[in-house]
Amino acid sequence: MKIAKLFSSVIILLFAASICSARGDFVEVRGKKFVIGNAPYYFVGTNYWYGALLGGETDKRRGIERLRRELDLLKSLGIDNLRVLAGAEGEGLLNGITRVGPALQPEKRKFDDEALKGLDLLLAEMRKRDMRAVIYLSNNWEWSGGFQQYLLWEKRIDPTLISRKPSWDELRDTIKEFYLCPQCIAGYQAQAAKVISRRNSINRIEYVNDPTIMAWEIANEPRPMRPAVNAAYAKFLSDTAALIRTLDPKHLITIGHEGYIGTESVELFEKVHAVANIDYLTIHIWPKNWGWLADADLDKALANAEVETRKYIDLNLAVADKLNKPLVIEEFGFPRDGRSFDRTAATHLRDRYFEAVLSNIGGTVAGANFWAFAGRGRAANTDFIRKAGDDYTGDPPMEEQGLNSVFDTDRTTLSLLKKAARKAKRLK
């Protein structure tokens, strides 16, 4: 009996050790910190949303070669946490904008395996470099199809929105319908399940077993858009987080939230992040979009932006502390000097703003991803507006290519990012 009990104990210990070994490389949450194994994980990262699209380039110089060189550069700087788009829904115009592609779901419930091979390539190359990916599964905005495309497929919105730009109020009235459309939500969830359940075609690792993936993100900046759908919005986020947890119990789950500006309510921001299946909070900070740079003198505008940014971080951080969960500043950007889009323009003010934001990393603020890395991409047109076939930069197609992009030639910005990344890695 004693031998049998001893044997059973050894088996249990070996089983437990195998579980710990399997989990050891995954990013996990313990209280208000990320950890890998027993080591704290703080990071400086970037938004690299187009990373999975580079694999679809037929020109290897603009595709896989560009991808590898950019990942090498980011890794050399210590920037090893990349926030990326899983794939676009639909093709062609939406709100008058030519959306990004090739599409993951070009037609309703029809998925393009070649597009997913681009995500395979990105994750396989990141794995070689010990980098981490946060993958968002859809988008609140039109530039990758997102929630509007599901509404179009279900004939729930005005089809003329394909070719014309709506007013802000019309856009709010449109997107809110997503949360009231069961067929739309089912379509979104089918795409999410398709991605999460995939096996990488390059290294044959199932996504659910790949520690290269840090987290699944429900969407990029999902907003209720109108208070009338707040309850439906909260239910969608809770139900979707539960579905993702069922499909993949190993990886972290987050919403992709902007902070209380995205919900127009601190209470709702707290409510949707209090859900047990949501592992950490995110905020985005956009001084230009939110009117913090109203002063024509950008130097004076920067001073105001720094004050407003400090207040915004503190208010959202209080929610994270209350919920005892980490917070990531996963988007922030600032114009080049003179509000120029030209990559040769100076970045003195941007650099000051980046340093101010990055200085918050530590404690509950577990990391920050700047928007956005453009790497070797270049604007091709004198009006800086992207056209089909142009390089991808960090700016989505409805914005000037250079508005918020950090290029591989931005030496001072890259230098301060490297310094901040080194500091983050020393945090305990």
Strand arrangement of the beta sheet that strand 39-40 belongs to: 27-30, 33-36, 39-40
State the maximum Cα–Cα separation within the chain, in Å, rounded to a whole number: 83
Q: How far apart are CA 428 and CA 420, in angstroms?
A: 15
The residue to which tokens 């249990």 are assigned = 12
Q: What is the 3-state secondary structure (H, E, C) of 358-421?
A: HCCCECCEEEEEECCEEECCCCCCCCCECCCCCCCCCCCCCCECCCCCEECCCHHHHHHHHHHH
All domains of the chain, ordered by start, with CATH? 36-425 (3.20.20.80)
- Nearest CA-CA partner of 147 in 220, 213, 209, 201: 220
Q: How far apart are CA 115 and CA 54, in angstroms?
A: 10
Q: How far apart are CA 64 and CA 60, in angstroms?
A: 5
The residue to which tokens 């926030």 are assigned = 83
Q: How far apart are CA 384 and CA 85, in angstroms?
A: 22
Q: How far apart are CA 258 and CA 263, in angstroms?
A: 8
Predicted confidence pLDDT, tens digits, the chain (428 residues): 444 444 444 333 333 444 433 446 999 999 999 999 999 999 999 999 999 999 888 888 889 999 999 999 999 999 999 999 999 999 999 999 999 999 999 999 999 999 999 999 999 999 999 999 999 999 999 999 999 999 999 999 999 999 999 999 999 999 999 999 999 999 999 999 999 999 999 999 999 999 999 999 999 999 999 999 999 999 999 999 999 999 999 999 999 999 999 999 999 999 999 999 999 999 999 999 999 999 999 999 999 999 999 999 999 999 999 999 999 999 999 999 999 999 999 999 999 999 999 999 999 999 999 999 999 999 999 999 999 899 999 999 999 999 999 999 999 999 999 999 999 999 99
Q: How far apart are the first and last CA of the chain?
A: 46
Q: Using an 8 Å Cβ cutoff, are 253 and 208 in contact?
A: no
pLDDT of residue 24: 60
281-285/327-332 β-pairing: parallel
3-class DSSP assignment, residue 34: strand
What single letter denotes the amino acid at residue 37?
Answer: G
pTM of the complete model: 0.93
Query: Taking the alpha carbons of 351, 354, 355, 356 in that order, is the dihedral positive or negative?
Result: positive
3-class DSSP assignment, residue 18: helix
Q: Using an 8 Å Cβ cutoff, are 406 and 413 in contact?
A: yes
Beta strand extents in 305-358 (DSSP E only): 327-332
The residue to which tokens 């795409």 are assigned = 191
Q: How far apart are CA 193 and CA 105, in angstroms?
A: 13
Q: Beta partners for 46?
A: 82, 370
- Give phi and psi for 207, each to the nearest 5: -55, -40
pLDDT of residue 60: 85
pLDDT of residue 56: 85
Distances (CA, A) of 287 to 139, 252, 353: 21, 29, 10
Q: Using an 8 Å Cβ cutoff, are 281 and 237 in contact?
A: no
Q: How far apart are CA 98 and CA 424, in angstroms?
A: 38
